[in-house]
Amino acid sequence: MDISNHPGASRHPSLTKEGNPEVRQSKRDMTRGVSPEPPSLDKGGPGGIGRYLGRSAVLGLSFVILVQFAAAQGTAAADTLVTARSAVDRIELEQGGFATVAMVLTNHGPLTWASEPPHPVHVSWHLRAGDGRMLVYDNPRTLFPQSVAPGQTVTLRVRIGADRFPGPGDYRVEFDLVQEGKAWFADQGAPTLTLPVQVRPPARTVLEDAALAQPLTSALQVADFPELGQLWRLIENTLVYTHQEFRVGERRYQGLVAGGGYPQLWARDSATAMHGSRWFHAGPALRDWIDLLLTRQQPDGSIPDWVNVRGETDKNTVETDQEASLVIGAGHYLRITGDTAWLRGLINGESRWRRLHQALDDVWRQRRDPASGLITGAHTIDWGDVELGDCTQEAIYAGPGSHWTVDLYDQAMLVLAARALVQGAVAVGEAGMAALWRQRAEWIVARTRAQLWQPERGYFRMHRHLGPLRHDFDEDALFPMGGECSGD
């Protein structure tokens, strides 16, 4: 996880966060309407110009918004002038859904908008209540596909997700540009473009097997329970919103991103999302992310945390769940589809099954504590991927000062992944490998119960420290909710 996009972040530009890549437009993206009032154009700052061009609603034509932003890229407010055009005057979306707003932007200033670190320029937006009160200042970014030189024009599709809104109601979205680590254009006196947004409650859903991507027998009945139907619709909207498709090299890949602010396909989030996405997405969205990560597998078997639209990767080395997440996801896919041919298929000359084995075997060889035999992970906070005590991006990388533990979560993930490999080994006729991973899973279960179970409390401890670090409170009294999926 990139800590610069933490939901609790301040309004200041993030240091490292990328934004959303251009994504496909779905039929669910938006309902376009015609507002009786033109969108607000907040004029301010040197060189600020705003014009509203409205076409007749009687002719069925949409409004065209033309606004020029004057803002500082360096220190002078007039350094950058951008013309932004959008063909909608309001946004309507269902709770949990999203809208994609097409925008054409031209750089009329003297400076290039860099698309690469350390200080790229991105498009973003601020969320206001219907009465204008600021609700969420810092929201997901949209990347420029390349740096934009003076005089150049680029078309972007800015995705607005209803997950950023507190609930149904009327809101305003204020579009802005930001140079990461430097300034928001509006904070330097630039005008902004504001569009009204209406968020509707999720529609009641009547579920039929024919509407499901993987229609297996289910006990779910929504017809008599409208609340459950609305929840199902909300889940569907969320999973459609997080679906991405992009090209890396010579192939197009599908998958589910970790939310509106993350442009990457992550191992852990993709595996977790499969429990719900199986009902709404067909095979490619369930399996492509596995292939993409396997194409980036290292000679030792390890895999990265994520791959983005540019083919870039990185790995949070304070955590130990990437390889396990990948194998668990492959196990989900195999159980859902029974596609053993896929498991036997080749990635860069080696079968997927063999690569999955190598990934988890790397964890077994490299991340086990010699004394206890358990899987190790650094002492982390947040989503378990940010190291305790470091407030910079370096907090995701293990180093000499890292505090190591044997923790319940990593044992659970290893056991679940080992059982998935047993299933895969049986499917491809590898009886010896099935026995090996069954034995390893049983070993971790037994050692976890011996090392982390607290019979006097009736639940597992979160972790044991392997170094001298101690806290001034009783960690063992904390109930590790969410980390107990390893038990039989």
CA 302 to chain CA centroid, Å, is 21
3-state secondary structure of 417: helix
CATH topology assigned to domain 242-477: Glycosyltransferase (1.50.10)
Q: Identify the band that residue 347 occupies on the pLDDT scale cut at 50, 70 and 90.
A: very high
Q: What is the pLDDT of residue 59?
A: 20
Going by C-alpha positions, the residue among 137, 145, 141, 69 that lies closest to residue 107 is 69
- Decide: residue 254, CB within 10 A, 0-12 exposed, 13-18 middle, 19+ buried: buried
* CA distances (Å), origin 141, targets 175, 288, 293, 308, 439: 11, 24, 24, 14, 46
CA distance 152 to 107: 6
Q: What distance in Å separates the CA atoms of residue 53 and residue 363, rounded to the nearest whole number?
A: 60
Q: How far is CA 462 from the centre of its chain?
A: 26
Report pLDDT for 234: 79
Give the phi and the psi of residue 258 in degrees, each rounded to 5. Answer: -85, 10
Listed in sequence order, the residues at least 6 apart from 76 whose beta carbon sits closer than 8 Å to its beta carbon are none
Query: Regarding predicted confidence, which is higher, 418 or 44?
Result: 418
CATH of 3-200, one of 3.40.50.150, 2.60.40.3880, 3.30.70.260, 3.30.70.360: 2.60.40.3880
pLDDT score, position 202:
78
- pLDDT for the residue 482: 63
* Interval 16-60: pLDDT, tens: 333 333 322 222 222 222 222 323 333 333 222 222 222 222 222
Per-residue pLDDT tens for 90-111?
898 888 788 888 888 888 778 8
Q: What residues form DSSP beta bridges with 398?
A: none
Q: What is the pLDDT of residue 206?
A: 60
Angle (nearest 5°) at CA 241 between 252 and 218: 95
Q: What is the pLDDT of residue 73?
A: 37
Give 197-206 pLDDT, tens digit per residue: 999 987 766 6
Rounded mean pLDDT of the chain? 78
Residue range 137-191, pLDDT digits in tens: 999 898 888 899 998 999 888 888 888 899 999 999 999 999 999 999 888 877 7
Tell me, what's the pLDDT at 81?
59
Alpha-carbon distance of 193 to 40, in angstroms, equals 7
Per-domain boundaries in the chain: 3-200, 242-477
Residues facing residue 376 across a β-bridge: 406
**Residue of 341 and 483 predicted with greater confidence:** 341
Please tell me the predicted confidence (pLDDT) of residue 179: 92
Length of the chain: 488
149 exposure class (CB count in 10 Å sphere: 0-12, 13-18, 19+): exposed
Q: Report whether 443 contacts 462 (CB < 8 A).
A: no
Q: What is the mean pLDDT of residues 332-346?
A: 94
> Rounded to whole angstroms, how far apart are CA atoms 174 and 134?
10
Q: How confident is the model over 275-297, as pLDDT tens digits?
A: 888 888 888 999 999 999 999 99
User: For helices 408-427 and 431-452, what crossing angle results, to 10°?
Assistant: 160
What average pLDDT does the segment 367-384 reach? 91
* Residue type, position 303, single letter: I
Three-state secondary-structure class, residue 404: strand
